Amino acid sequence: MRLYASCAALALGLAAGGAHAQSGEITVWSWNIAASSLESVIEGFNAEYPDVTVTVEDLGNQQVFDRTLAGCAAGGSGLPDVLSIENHEAEIFWAQFPDCFANLRDLGYDEESSARFPDFKRTELEVGDVAYAMPWDSGPVAMFYRRDFYDNAGVDPASIQTWDDFIAAGKQIMEANDGVTMTNADLNGDTEWFRMIANEQGCGYFSNDGESITVNQPSCVAALDVVKSLVDEGLMTAADWNEKIQNNNAGAVASQMYGGWYEGTIRSTAPEDQAGQWGVYLMPSLSADGAHAANLGGSSLAIPANSENKEAAWAYVNYALGTNDGQVTMLKSYGLVPSLLSALEDPYVQDGLPFWGDQPVWETILGTLDQINPMRGTSFFGDADQIVQTVQTQYLNGGYDSAQAALDDAAKQIELVTGIPAAQ
């Protein structure tokens, strides 16, 4: 595990110059708890930069995307000083409007600074010598589980190393806990489980250079086979975001696999009597000595080129994302998972948390950060994901003879839409 000294993180926070060198007003666009998190760091930021006034506007996820796209199309008109951009959508902007965003390299975000973030977070944010955005939150995948349901079945989560182990444990748990399903997935509206397991195995829709389609490569095929096995064994039932929360709260599900940000969702929505009943373990792998790390979700912050106060905007971005104080404040307040590797040294990350049975869950979750494989979304992520979602549904319902046949078809469709060739 790569760790970085706290003084290095502080140096990153001051890379743009003296703490009191900036002044004026800046506006930030974001959404939901991400916006609340950005507001939570203003007090600490203003302790170092008292002359900068920060206004965070919560526009909603889709509105931020749509208005950013429209603003860039209009030459940068109407954009704020700082923007939230989801990683998997980032290349849509860089590909269409490379001049819409400031190059953070010109503001103090040098190679040494960016090296303090894991490679998988930087893959979609940096193009050649240009850094379009700075990594914010990440989604290191973990399995969130009900301790009592596992205990009732005599299942030790430490014994679950492979997906075969997970399936065997699921059968025991469902037999020992009437009315409880082993896990949920949004099988009708998302590809979340497929993408998590594929990423764990080093496979994604596209190659890391973005030059070929890789969704039908062996590791992706193996990932889709795992999802099919879970469904066929009756261990995985379909549930969307809200239904998962309802199932959690009703005690109807034993495990939920998600990005680490789901910690805050469970903790903030669970009934009081579930405190201490939840725990976390690493995601299973295809083999006992295989990888146990993946990423789902995560965002970045960018500065539009038309900002009239780039220096103050950079000071705020750099404090929020480039210091342990900024990152851990957002983690404590809203469960926004740090990407900054030095945050692992913070005592809060290493402490046991009461809701989680005094387990140091962040040490477990963040401990996988530098093991996660990069996965390129490219500017065609949305097109590819829609195709894979449809193919996945058809395969789970018996529409293809094999996962290989299903993903070969997906690769052909993606090739037709994007013009990118399928890898041989």
Place of tokens 């913070």: 346
CA distances, 83 to each of 31, 93, 183, 275 (Å): 10, 12, 35, 36
pLDDT at 21: 58
Topology given in CATH for the domain delimited by 141-294+374-418 = D-Maltodextrin-Binding Protein; domain 2 (3.40.190)
Q: What is the pLDDT of residue 9?
A: 40
What whole-number distance in Å separates Cα of residue 309 and Cα of residue 315? Answer: 10
The pLDDT, as a whole number, for residue 330 is: 93
- Percent of the chain whose pLDDT exceeds 70: 95
DSSP H helices, 75-217, are 87-96, 111-114, 119-122, 147-152, 163-176, 192-200
| Fold for the domain defined by 6-139+296-371 | D-Maltodextrin-Binding Protein; domain 2 (3.40.190)
CATH topology match: 6-139+296-371 vs 141-294+374-418: yes
Can you list the residues of the chain whose pLDDT is less than 50?
Answer: 1-20
pLDDT, position 88: 85
pLDDT tens string 127-142: 989 999 999 999 999 9
Domain ranges of the chain: 6-139+296-371, 141-294+374-418
- Give residue for tokens 């539009």: 304
pLDDT of residue 260: 92
The pLDDT of residue 424 is: 81
Q: What's the rounded Cα separation, in Å, for the pair 305 and 237? A: 46
C-alpha radius of gyration, the chain, whole number: 22
CB 316 within 8 A of CB 302: no
Tokens found for residue 409? 């078809």
Q: pLDDT at position 264, please?
A: 85
